Amino acid sequence: MSGWLRACGGGYAEPDVTQCTPHQCFNSSAPHYAETDIVRLQGVTGSNMYAVPALTVDSLTRKDISAAEFPRQQLIFREKLGEGQFGEVHLCEAEGLPDFLREGSPLQDRDRRSVLVAVKQLRADATSQARNDFLKEIKIMSRLDDPNIIRLLCVCVSSDPLCMVTEYMENGDLNMFLSQREIESTLTHANNIPSVSLSDLLHMAVQISSGMRYLASLNFVHRDLATRNCLLDRRLTIKIADFGMSRNLYSSDYYRIQGRAVLPIRWMAWESILLGKFTTASDVWAFGVTLWEVFTLCKEQPYSLLSDEQVIENSGEFFRNQGRQVFLYAPPLCPPSLFELMMRCWSRNILDRPTFEGLYQALRPQVNPSRWGNLSSLTDETKGEKTHQFVVIGGLCCCRRFPEPSMSELFCLVPDGPDLHPVLTLKARDVSGFLSMRIFLLKHCPCLSRSSRSTHTGAEVKV
């Protein structure tokens, strides 16, 4: 047994998942990955989370794996990120990894000889079916290439245990990330509370829709889209992942049917629960639920007031369509137009649901400042510092500029032209966030008022 395998074999305690909630019970030096359980999805229909038409699966699995074989001895174990019945995910250092990557790989820090990676390993006692599914997943993942889909870098399949090496996402899974944060406000800034802005949430929604748009273009059906299966890197780039059915820390998200199939019923479309039909349209339904999670900051489970049995009964109400079905409520942080988009995702008729292309096109303008004019002159990424910040308030796109460390300026971008109107200039320490300035903007923004353009000090801002 190699030193790496010996290191992975023990020396750390398992979390007691029976005594805690998903948001409370995992303390680790590395951000959490939704725990992996490489099991075949049985019962209703299908097999893997990435479900594709049979012809596509056959054509993919007949091909050789396009990822390179990586020397197992060059993986240095650091810690465990997740575990399940038949598999584990480890944080490792991969020595000399750049030499094994395909040409044009966008892996960051490629010039470094040692790179942090996530290694998904099949346990030695895994069933033959789990082994076959693991190899099939490797073959499929090796051909997925999109900025918002987790990338397979290389594999270790010449000997047991089978391993796949993927890029490591420093901020872990989106569910844990958001549940540990509050919406950006004066309070969060004053008390150094981890926070996210509304602009951050909108950008997350766009990224998830972009990744799902790519999968849909290949006729892939994910079947388990949720925040627990979205990972974030240090730049808050989201990548959709599939580490099999999430268990343990997220076990309450899954419902066991007749002692066999374990299904994420709170994210599933009515036709998936009742008829066993999984399509891109059912992924769209799950996307709507995922958006709902994002804009509630993952503080509660979907349909938290309903039992699992009541969720299944509710799917029957969607089928009967007599007006008694229960929808998820509109999150307070969610713009009305975005909640309308969620409701379309939950349409009874699959033909009435938007496509992922349509979702992407609808969401992207809400966080893309270019719709408000030419902003190329405002961006400066060469210094590696945040010099500008954008957010949409009351239908207006605003820009906060940092001309120097001690100063901050807030601009409103006029919808019908490229002009920038300075709204106020104040010291950076007085700028607590856009949401706290909402009242001030309504009073002084030239886009909302015919009053003269004005510049104010921080002391004059009343919110």
Look up the CATH number of the domain holding residue 150: 3.30.200.20
Mapping DSSP to helix (H, G, I), strand (E, B) and coil, where does residue 262 land? Answer: strand
Per annotation, catalytic residue among 133, 173, 224, 253: 224
Asked whether residue 6 is domain-assigned, the answer is no
Whole-number mean pLDDT of the chain?
Answer: 71
> Quick one: pLDDT band at residue 189, thresholds 50, 70, 90?
confident
Asked whether residue 371 is domain-assigned, the answer is no
265, 271, 276, 278: CA torsion to nearest 10: -90
Looking at residues 132-142, what average pLDDT do you find? 85
Q: Where among 145, 170, 195 does a domain terminate?
A: 170
Tell whether the model's pLDDT for residue 321 goes beyond 60.
yes
Residues 357 and 209 in one domain: yes
Give pLDDT, residue 316: 96
Residues 186 and 335 in one domain: yes
User: Which of these ranges, 141-145, 238-242, 372-376, has the smallest mean pLDDT?
Assistant: 372-376
Give residue-wise pLDDT tens across range 262-303. 789 999 999 999 999 999 999 999 999 999 999 999 999 999
Give residue-wise pLDDT tens across range 83-116. 766 788 899 999 888 888 876 565 544 556 788 9
Tell whether the model's pLDDT for residue 349 goes beyond 90.
yes
**Could you list the residue range(s) of the whole structural domain that residue 89 is in?**
15-170
Residues 403 and 261 in one domain: no
Contact criterion met (CB below 8 Å) for 172 and 31: yes
Contact criterion met (CB below 8 Å) for 179 and 297: yes
Tell whether the model's pLDDT for residue 407 goes beyond 70.
no
Cβ neighbours of residue 153 closer than 8 Å, sequence gap 6 or more: 67, 70, 94, 97, 100, 101, 105, 107, 117, 165, 166, 167
Give pLDDT, residue 379: 31
As a whole number of angstroms, the distance between CA 174 and CA 208 comes to 11
As a whole number of angstroms, the distance between CA 367 and CA 351 comes to 27
Residues 147 and 19 in one domain: yes
Tell whether the model's pLDDT for residue 33 goes beyond 90.
no
Looking at residues 181-194, what average pLDDT do you find? 90
User: Which of these ranges, 14-28, 161-175, 356-370, has the smallest mean pLDDT?
Assistant: 14-28
**279: nearest Cα among 53, 39, 56:** 53
Looking at residues 154-179, what average pLDDT do you find? 92
More confident residue, 253 or 237: 237
Residues 200 and 345 in one domain: yes
Residues 205 and 341 in one domain: yes
As a whole-number percent, the residues of the chain with pLDDT over 70 amount to 58
As a whole number of angstroms, the distance between CA 216 and CA 160 comes to 33
Tell whether the model's pLDDT for residue 55 goes beyond 70.
no
Contact criterion met (CB below 8 Å) for 182 and 195: yes
Cβ neighbours of residue 254 closer than 8 Å, sequence gap 6 or more: 245, 246, 247, 262, 263, 264, 265
Give pLDDT, residue 406: 47
Asked whether residue 118 is domain-assigned, the answer is yes
Residues 35 and 116 in one domain: yes
Q: For residue 287, give the CATH number of its domain.
A: 1.10.510.10
Looking at residues 238-251, what average pLDDT do you find? 60
Q: Where among 336, 366, 396 does a domain terminate?
A: 366
Asked whether residue 117 is domain-assigned, the answer is yes
> Quick one: pLDDT band at residue 188, thresholds 50, 70, 90?
confident
Tell whether the model's pLDDT for residue 396 goes beyond 50.
no
- Give the pair of three-digit tokens for residue 261: 């199939």
Q: Where among 366, 400, 416 does a domain terminate?
A: 366
For the entire predicted model, the pTM comes to: 0.68
Tell me the Ramachandran region of residue 46: left when phi exceeds 0, alpha when psi lies from -120 to 50, beta otherwise: left
Residues 388 and 309 in one domain: no
Cβ neighbours of residue 218 closer than 8 Å, sequence gap 6 or more: 52, 56, 144
> Quick one: pLDDT band at residue 452, thresholds 50, 70, 90?
very low
- Give the pair of three-digit tokens for residue 144: 């997925």
Looking at residues 400-412, what average pLDDT do you find? 49
Pairing of strands 114-122, 163-167: antiparallel
Asked whether residue 151 is domain-assigned, the answer is yes
Q: Is 224 a catalytic residue?
A: yes
How far apart, in Å, do the first and last CA atoms of the chain sit? 65
Give residue-wise pLDDT tens across range 268-277. 999 999 999 9
